[in-house]
Amino acid sequence: MKRGDTGKPHGTGPAPRSVLLRDVGESGLIELLRRKHAGGARRGELPIGDDAAVVRVPGGRAVLSTDLLIEGTHFSLAYFRPEEVGGRALSANLSDLAAMGAEPVCYLVALAAPPGISVATVDAIFRGMADAAGPSGIRLMGGDTCRGERLILCLTVVGAVRGGRPVSRAGARPGDLLYVTGSPGWSRLGLALLRGGRPSRPSGWRREAMRAHLAPTARWREGRAAARSGAVAAMIDVSDGILADLSHLLERDGLGAVLAEESFPVSRSFRAASAALGVDPLDAFLGGGEDYELLMAVHPARRAIFLRAARAFPSGATRIGAVTKTPGVRVLRADGSWIEGAALPSGFDHFPPTKRRTR
């Protein structure tokens, strides 16, 4: 329909109008989601449309995670395209499964939407999720829809543990080596770039930064291979930033860590991008969240086994430091100085306690 592309009325008919949720009703929406986006049910499974979904979980243990995303708080349709909203949401949840070393199985989506939103927007959100699911094998198997003043998405993902054990956040020991997949920090650079306006045809570092922020990749292959290798003692995904998530990894066991800047996977392109955006590259690397890379603790005696497994990681893995018995994280700068405590970049609290906040 070339004519509609101009966005202006032509000829005798009224201007083309988006199909709105109120035009199709709840049953119309559910039918659309089922037809276009539901995963195929395998033998003995039941997808969208019954009281509950039924999925096979060979091996006998299910891994579960849920995530609530509210328009205006977690995303804005003025800022993200609907495909990106869906893709980021799915990737963030798939990343939680990856961080357990689980096999992706299925996801459920509870959706609240204003009746005046276009069906195309909702459709694009679900398409973004399916695209981000990619070859991971995770399939939409159920959900819920209702009316809301603003868009709300609650994603629940289900994984299975096969041929190995789930890798939790606990289990690191002093002396363990700390590895991170990919190149954390690009998402923070993407955010800084987008704050100055979305480039229409980005290339080079702009493209890499935008992609990291708008279409992050969950490391499910890496997480699964890490769990199967048996060499990873503890694992977490980097959603709040390396320092914040490293703290989560260490706090159960009352441990600390030393990180060495010289070993950080920070490329020349990353430094150039940071400089162009006026962002401290160390801040972006250590404090930037939403990269969905994986952080792993590996016992030195199992290093060779781990490195063999890591050869199959599409993202690679880099050793950035080691676990210490002394609590707290210290970073050895390339110039030989140390930073620690309040001088380190910090994470994000949805309900910052008024008393504890000092700045």
Which residues 237-256 are close enough to bind a copy of itself by CB under 8 A? 237
Query: Which amino acid appears at position 116 of this protein?
Result: G
Q: Considering the rule CB under 8 A, would residue 331 count as an interface residue with a copy of itself?
A: no
- Whichever of 216 and 281 has its CB closer to a copy of itself, that residue is 216
Directed axis angle between helix 119-133 and helix 82-98, to 10°?
Answer: 30
Asked if 263 contacts 273 with a C-beta cutoff of 8 angstroms, the reply is: no
Q: Considering the rule CB under 8 A, would residue 64 count as an interface residue with a copy of itself?
A: yes
Asked if 88 contacts 215 with a C-beta cutoff of 8 angstroms, the reply is: yes
Residue with structure tokens 């690191």? 172
Taking the complex as a whole, the smallest distance from the CB of residue 97 to a copy of itself amounts, in Å, to 6
For 344, phi and psi rounded to 5 degrees? -85, 150
Q: Considering the rule CB under 8 A, would residue 335 count as an interface residue with a copy of itself?
A: no
Count of Cβ atoms closer than 10 Å to residue 85 Cβ? 25
- Whichever of 54 and 276 has its CB closer to a copy of itself, that residue is 54
Tell me which stretch binds a copy of itself (CB under 8 A): 204-212, 272-280, 281-289, 351-359: 351-359
Site for a copy of itself in 165-184 (CB under 8 A): 166, 168-170
Distance between CA 140 and CA 294 in Å, rounded? 24
Query: Which amino acid appears at position 357 of this protein?
Result: R
Directed axis angle between helix 303-310 and helix 220-229, to 10°?
Answer: 150
Q: Considering the rule CB under 8 A, would residue 141 count as an interface residue with a copy of itself?
A: yes
State which of residues 85, 108, 214, 344 lies at the interface with a copy of itself (CB under 8 A).
Answer: 108
Taking the complex as a whole, the smallest distance from the CB of residue 65 to a copy of itself amounts, in Å, to 4
Distances (CA, A) of 310 to 57, 88, 180, 302: 26, 25, 11, 12
- Whichever of 109 and 323 has its CB closer to a copy of itself, that residue is 109
Query: Which amino acid appears at position 228 of this protein?
Result: R
- Whichever of 158 and 310 has its CB closer to a copy of itself, that residue is 158
Taking the complex as a whole, the smallest distance from the CB of residue 233 to a copy of itself amounts, in Å, to 14
Tell me which stretch binds a copy of itself (CB under 8 A): 82-90, 264-272, 320-328, 350-358: 350-358
Site for a copy of itself in 20-49 (CB under 8 A): 21-29, 44-46, 49
- Whichever of 62 and 339 has its CB closer to a copy of itself, that residue is 62
Q: Considering the rule CB under 8 A, would residue 96 count as an interface residue with a copy of itself?
A: yes
Strand partners, 322: 177, 258
State which of residues 10, 36, 120, 144 lies at the interface with a copy of itself (CB under 8 A).
Answer: 144
Q: Considering the rule CB under 8 A, would residue 99 count as an interface residue with a copy of itself?
A: yes
If DSSP codes are grouped into helix, strand and coil, which group holds residue 143? strand
Asked if 101 contacts 227 with a C-beta cutoff of 8 angstroms, the reply is: yes
Q: Considering the rule CB under 8 A, would residue 145 count as an interface residue with a copy of itself?
A: yes
Site for a copy of itself in 185-214 (CB under 8 A): none
Q: Considering the rule CB under 8 A, would residue 14 count as an interface residue with a copy of itself?
A: no
* 75: DSSP letter: B
- Whichever of 247 and 274 has its CB closer to a copy of itself, that residue is 247
Q: Considering the rule CB under 8 A, would residue 232 count as an interface residue with a copy of itself?
A: no
> Sheet holding 328-332: strands in order across?
232-238, 293-298, 177-181, 317-324, 256-260, 328-332, 338-340
Site for a copy of itself in 73-92 (CB under 8 A): 73-74
State which of residues 6, 254, 311, 351 lies at the interface with a copy of itself (CB under 8 A).
Answer: 351
Encode burial over 180-217: b for 16+ CB neighbours within 10 A, e otherwise. bbbbbbbbbbbbbbbeeeeeeeeeebbebbbebbbbbb
- Whichever of 95 and 318 has its CB closer to a copy of itself, that residue is 95
Asked if 132 contacts 87 with a C-beta cutoff of 8 angstroms, the reply is: yes
